């Protein structure tokens, strides 16, 4: 007799598998990210199909099969109707699910990552606007939770505290570069034979003090606070560029 497990999960992705079945990627509370077989979901009238749509929080019964695990049953806990019915929110949620699925490894359980994604979806589902701001905030919090928190208080090269001057964000180096170090990077950028510690660096994107302050706020504040903030479009544009680098 097959062994079964019950767990809460968020459906990340689903695609056709064979003629009548689906392959579903979910992130579970108990097992992390796993791939499961959903039998018969491509057949007309399948009851299971509606309960394994991407962007659905579900209660799963997983059946341990001989070659692959499959979904025995699924009941939706939250369909995020406020997101799915809003064309400004849906792309933001889709971007978050895509990044999460791409960057999180299989079978590595992390409750912090799971809760961070659910908190983002919950607040996005409730708020009528600010989808871009919430996505930018989640992206930074997500990368930080993965171990890629940027240095926002000191220059990543000279380690001096940042002062109000021209500053640059460099994702490869992991944070902000001060103006003096930026000039040194520029000088050695094309010198392949240089032994300078700046030789392997790439020039970053200029970023304002205001944007850096917002980045600090994102990492320091909770969703209840962040959802109440109104961010100027110029800052939001900078945040989107940074979050995608």
Strand order in the sheet with 167-170: 175-177, 167-170, 205-207
pTM: 0.86
Who wins on pLDDT, 197 or 96? 96
- Let me know whether 138 and 207 are in one domain: yes
Q: Does 115 map to a domain?
A: no
The two structure tokens encoding residue 243: 């979050």
- Let me know whether 160 and 241 are in one domain: yes
pLDDT above 50 (res 102): yes
User: What's the mean pLDDT in 4-27?
Assistant: 94
pLDDT above 90 (res 113): yes
- Let me know whether 154 and 239 are in one domain: yes
pLDDT above 60 (res 197): no
How confident is the model over 45-61, as pLDDT tens digits?
Answer: 899 999 999 999 999 99
State what percent of residues in the chain have pLDDT above 70: 91
Q: Does 56 map to a domain?
A: yes
Of 78, 110, 140, the domain-final residue? 78
Q: Does 97 map to a domain?
A: no
Beta bridge partners of 9: 28, 58
How confident is the model over 181-191, as pLDDT tens digits?
Answer: 988 877 655 55
Return the pLDDT at 238. 84
Residue 95: CA atoms inside 13 Å, Cβ hemisphere, count?
21
Say how far residue 77 (Cα) sits from the centre of its chain: 22
- Let me know whether 166 and 230 are in one domain: yes
Q: Does 92 map to a domain?
A: no
- Let me know whether 31 and 139 are in one domain: no
pLDDT above 90 (res 171): no
Separation between Cα atoms, residue 167 and residue 178, nearest integer Å: 5
The pairing of beta strand 167-170 with beta strand 57-63: unpaired
Q: What is the CATH number of the domain that holds 67?
A: 2.40.50.140
pLDDT above 50 (res 31): yes
Q: Does 91 map to a domain?
A: no
* Residue 137 CB neighbour total at 10 angstroms: 26
How confident is the model over 150-170, as pLDDT tens digits?
Answer: 999 999 999 999 998 899 998
Q: Does 29 map to a domain?
A: yes
Mean pLDDT of the chain: 89
* Residue 58 CB neighbour total at 10 angstroms: 23
Look up the domain containing 133 and give its range: 129-245
- Let me know whether 137 and 243 are in one domain: yes
- Let me know whether 139 and 74 are in one domain: no
At a CB cut-off of 8 Å and minimum separation 6, what does 216 contact? 152, 153
147-to-30, 67, 143, 144 alpha-carbon distances in Å = 21, 34, 7, 5
Separation between Cα atoms, residue 98 and residue 154, nearest integer Å: 31
- Let me know whether 54 and 134 are in one domain: no
Separation between Cα atoms, residue 223 and residue 145, nearest integer Å: 15
Separation between Cα atoms, residue 50 and residue 198, nearest integer Å: 54
Q: Does 44 map to a domain?
A: yes
pLDDT above 90 (res 220): yes
Who wins on pLDDT, 171 or 78? 78
Give me the number of domains the chain comprises: 2
Of 52, 78, 104, the domain-final residue? 78
């Amino acid at each position: 007799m097959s062994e079964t497990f019950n767990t809460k999960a968020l459906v990340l992705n689903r695609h056709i598998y064979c003629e009548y079945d689906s392959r579903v990627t979910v992130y579970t509370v108990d097992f992390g990210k796993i791939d499961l077989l959903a039998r018969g979901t491509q057949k007309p009238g399948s009851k299971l199909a509606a309960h394994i749509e991407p962007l659905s929080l579900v209660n799963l019964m997983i059946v341990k099969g001989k070659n692959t695990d499959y979904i025995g049953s699924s009941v939706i806990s939250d369909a995020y109707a406020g997101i799915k019915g809003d064309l400004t929110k849906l792309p933001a949620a889709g971007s978050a699910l895509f990044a999460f699925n791409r960057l999180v490894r299989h079978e590595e359980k992390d409750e912090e990552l799971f809760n961070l994604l659910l908190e983002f979806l919950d607040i996005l589902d409730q708020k009528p606007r600010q989808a871009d701001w919430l996505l930018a905030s989640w992206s930074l919090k997500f990368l930080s939770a993965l171990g890629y928190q940027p240095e926002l208080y000191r220059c990543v090269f000279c380690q001096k505290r940042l002062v109000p001057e021209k500053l640059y964000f460099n994702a490869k180096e992991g944070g902000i570069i001060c103006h003096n170090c930026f000039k040194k990077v520029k000088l050695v950028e094309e010198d392949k034979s240089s032994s300078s510690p700046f030789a392997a660096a790439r020039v970053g994107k200029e970023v304002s003090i205001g944007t850096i302050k917002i980045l600090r706020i994102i990492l320091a504040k909770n969703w209840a606070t962040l959802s109440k903030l109104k961010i100027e479009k110029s800052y939001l544009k900078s945040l989107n560029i940074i979050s995608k680098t």
